Amino acid sequence: MNMQVREHSGSSVVVDDGSIVIRIGCPAGSTDGSGPDAAAVSRADRAALLNFAARADCYQGLVMWHRYQAVYSLYRAKQAESEADASVDAYTRLFDPQCQTAASYATAAGVRQYAGELFVDRAIACFERIPAIGRLMRDGILNVCWFVRAVEQTALVDDGDLLAFIDAEIAHRLAGMGGLSANRVESTVAAIVAEHDPDAATLTREQVASSKKVSVTPVADGVSEMVIVGSTEDAAISLGAINALADGVCPFDPRTKQARRSDAATALLQQSQFTCLCERDDCVSELAPAQIDARRAQVMIHVVVRKQTLDGVSQLPAYEEGVGPISARHARELVRRPDAVIRELDLDTVIADCTRHAGRYRPSAAVDTAVRALFGTCTVAGCDRPAWKSDLDHVVEFDHRDPGNGGPTCVCNLNPKCRFHHGVKTHAEGWVDDQIVDANGVIWTEVTTPEGVTVRRQAMNLWLLPELGHIQCRHGVSFGVSDSSATRPENRHAGNEPERRLTRTQAKHRYRMQRRAANRRRREIATVTDGEPPF
């Protein structure tokens, strides 16, 4: 047998009967210590270097899949021997095939028995419980850590037929989401498990809740670490209260932010006074009770939930800021909290605002909430900064001089970016992002690095707000800089001095439009060749 498993950009994996041959294309100049001369590195070379640095380990999942297959074969052999042996006693049941396989693996690998049992358990899950997700690891779509987390999240699903459905649904959704991250994989698995087996999600939450505790561990001479384990909501509110106190000091306080937090938490627990340590006569700290209470009032946890879920008609999960999908039961419990505030989001209002006010710079409150709920986090791959703690960014830049010529203030052109990634896009050269709504109403975001590497992925919470992918925009799909916006500024230079035809900002926007157009043309060609994404 000779099976080609994967081939991409000069790299390949071939699995023969007796060997696994992995060939990874190594970019020129990356094998020696010096690397290529900086001036000689083209954009294509930089893209190759970046792809190699970021993705050269994607075949570890294939190797791990075969390692799991090997130990699973050992387990099945021991299980067959055990079933054929009629002399079963208490000790045989104690040292069952799984235990014995783990002991053999632990001895050979030089690890503890517990680690061996975990490895065997994951191998069994890979081939018996969630084989479709396991194949995603084999094919390099998931890394080993993401697969292990999926094993843990599906561990309490005990109905075989339901587990097979959940396995297939998770694999299908993950395979079509584009660029993945640990948070995105975990959120997807959590949403599907919570929707189709709420009891498994509830049991998981109850197991975690039973581990609530407070512990103190000495760290160094005179310093100890206190750990409080509690509910996610209480932890977030408590941190907000600590920050509300710690942020009241003046700019000249000598402590770091973490040190101020520690002192503020201690003051809250001991009901003692928290003061600024600047020791200046002109201290402008804001530590009066009314000022602290005003900052605490701004602490919020956002939960997005369908009305049908709150009414008990549907078991569709909700989405909690900073956590991810939560079960319908959990969402209903949160609504019953005395400090909960319910605000209805009318999607018809969102659609109307997008069509009526696309030329306005600031989105309406309804559009703002809908966009943050749709994406959940910063839209740059790998960044988990919550959307409500991020900036809303016009993907195609808004033109303040001629709003009709720039990007619209619409769901199709807005997404959240954390302050760092918003700054990178705005001020660093070469970063281009794009947002596309395909024919099926799926909203995609793209980020292209200065090296030319493009990462494309779906809006994370489209499963919760699918209507947002079907807004009939009236402003079209192409935005650019017109001749009127490209004219020279009124403040012209005197005499024959050189003048800019475009300001620096206009030039940067034009470059981004050209890159977006090139990316879209390349994507259209790929769609014709390979079908709808993922490619």
Q: Which tokens belong to 446?
A: 């793209």
Taking Cα atoms as reference points, which of 466, 458, 467 lies closest to residue 185?
Answer: 458
How far is residue 20's CA from residue 41's CA, in Å, rounded to a whole number? Answer: 33
Which H or E run contains 66?
A: helix 60-84
Residue partners of 218: CB distance under 8 A and separation at least 6: 224, 225
Distances (CA, A) of 258 to 230, 262, 501: 20, 6, 49
Cis amide linkage into residue 403, ω under 30° from 0: no
How far is residue 26's CA from residue 496's CA, in Å, rounded to a whole number? Answer: 53
Q: Higher confidence at residue 77 or residue 349?
A: 77
Taking Cα atoms as reference points, which of 457, 459, 452 lies closest to residue 515?
Answer: 452
Given a cut of 70, whether residue 498 has pLDDT beyond it is no
Bridge partners, 7 (sequence order): 12
Residue partners of 95: CB distance under 8 A and separation at least 6: 103
How far is residue 431's CA from residue 434's CA, in Å, rounded to a whole number? Answer: 10
C-alpha torsion sign, points 12, 452, 386, 310: negative
Residue 22 — φ and ψ, nearest 5°? -110, 120
pTM beyond 0.75: the answer is yes
Over residues 441-476, the pLDDT tens digits come to 999 999 999 999 999 999 999 999 999 988 887 665
Over residues 339-351, the pLDDT tens digits come to 899 999 988 888 8
Q: Higher confidence at residue 37 or residue 427?
A: 427
Taking Cα atoms as reference points, which of 425, 351, 345 lies closest to residue 393?
Answer: 425
List helix spans (H) across 439-497: none
How far is residue 477's CA from residue 163's CA, in Å, rounded to a whole number? Answer: 41
